Amino acid sequence: MLLGITVCALATFGPVGEYAPVLFWVRALQVLLLLFVTPLLLASARPVAWVCSRSMPVGQIVDRALSSRAMRVALSPLTTSAAMLATPWLLYLTPWYVASMTGPLAALTRVWLVLVGFGYFYTRLQVDPVPRRFSPLLSIGISVVESLADGLLGIVLWLGPLIAVDYYAALQRDWGPSLRTDQSIGAGILWILGDVLSIPFVAALMRQLGTDERRKAKRADAELDQVSGDGASTLWWENDPALRDRFSR
C-alpha cells in the first residue's frame, strides 16, 4: 500500500505533477500512473481486509455495505470496466482535458482517476472482500477488451488531430518537442507502456485462473468420492439405474 501511495505522490507533487500541465506526454504519464499503476498497487495490498481486521464494528459495517444492492451494482465488473474504459476517452476527447489542467478540477480529476482505477482492480483481483465473486476467466476477457480500447485510443491520439492546441500554444513553450511529436509520444505512453505495465496484472489473473480450476477439480473429486463412498460400487456406470440393469445381467 505504501508503494501505491508513493507512486500517487510522485505523479501529483513530483516532476510529473509539475510538468503535466505543460507537456502532453508527461500528462499522459500522469494519467497512466494515477489510473493504472497506483490503483493496482493499492488494490493488491488488500486495503479492505486490512481495515476490517483492525476493528470488528468496522468490519461489520463493511460487510453490510458490500451486501447492499447499490454496492453490488456499483462494484460489478460491468460498471467498473465501463468507467475504466470510458474515462480516458472522455478525458482526452472532450473539454475536460483542458479544464482538468489547473484549478480545483485538476485535483478532483486526479482523485477520480485513482477511484476509477481502484474500483476496476479491486473487483478484478478479488483478493479483498467483494460484493460478488466471478470467474477469473471473465476478468481475463475484460483485460483483452480494455487493451484493445487503449490501443484504439492511442492510434486516435497518434494519427488524429492535435488536442488542446490553443491551450498549449498559449503556454508559449520554446523548448522540448513540437506539439505533434509531444502528442505522439503521449499516445505511445498510453498505448505501449500501458500494455507493458498490464503484463503483471494479467499474469496474476492467469495464476488465479489456475488456482480456481484446481479448486473446482478438487471439489469435483470430493463429490465423486462421496458418491462412491455412499454407494456399494466404484464403477461409474453402476450409479446409473438404466446402465446398471443392462450390464448387470
Q: Where are the alpha helices (DSSP H) in 34-135?
A: 38-44, 47-54, 56-67, 69-74, 77-93, 96-99, 104-125
Cα separation, 91 vs 101, whole angstroms:
11
No. of helices (H) and no. of strands (E), the chain: 15, 0
Distant-in-sequence, close-in-space partners of 234: CB < 8 Å, separation ≥ 6: 228
User: C-alpha 49: how far from its chain's center?
Assistant: 18
In the three-class reduction of DSSP (H, G, I as helix; E, B as strand; rest coil), residue 234 is classed as coil
pLDDT, tens digit only, all 249 positions of the chain = 788 899 999 999 889 999 999 999 999 999 999 999 999 999 888 888 887 777 777 777 877 888 888 888 888 888 888 999 999 999 999 999 999 998 889 999 999 999 999 998 888 888 878 887 877 777 778 878 878 888 889 999 999 999 999 999 999 999 999 999 999 999 999 888 888 887 887 777 777 777 766 776 777 667 676 766 665 555 554 565 655 555 555
Return the C-alpha cell found at 63: 460487510
Computed on alpha carbons and rounded to an integer, the radius of gyration of the chain in Å comes to 25
Using alpha carbons, select from 183, 189, 133 the residue that is nearest to residue 162: 183
The pLDDT of residue 98 is: 94
Closest Cα partner for 42 from 11, 77, 86? Answer: 11
Let me know: does 16 contact 94? Beta carbons within 8 Å: no
The answer to whether 193 touches 32, Cβ cutoff 8 Å, is yes
User: Which residue shows C-alpha cell 488531430?
Assistant: 161
What is the DSSP code (8-state) at residue 162?
P
Please tell me the predicted confidence (pLDDT) of residue 239: 60
Query: Quick one: pLDDT at residue 249?
Result: 53
What are the domain boundaries of the chain? 2-220
Cell of 91: 478525458
Query: Chain centroid to CA 149: how far?
Result: 13
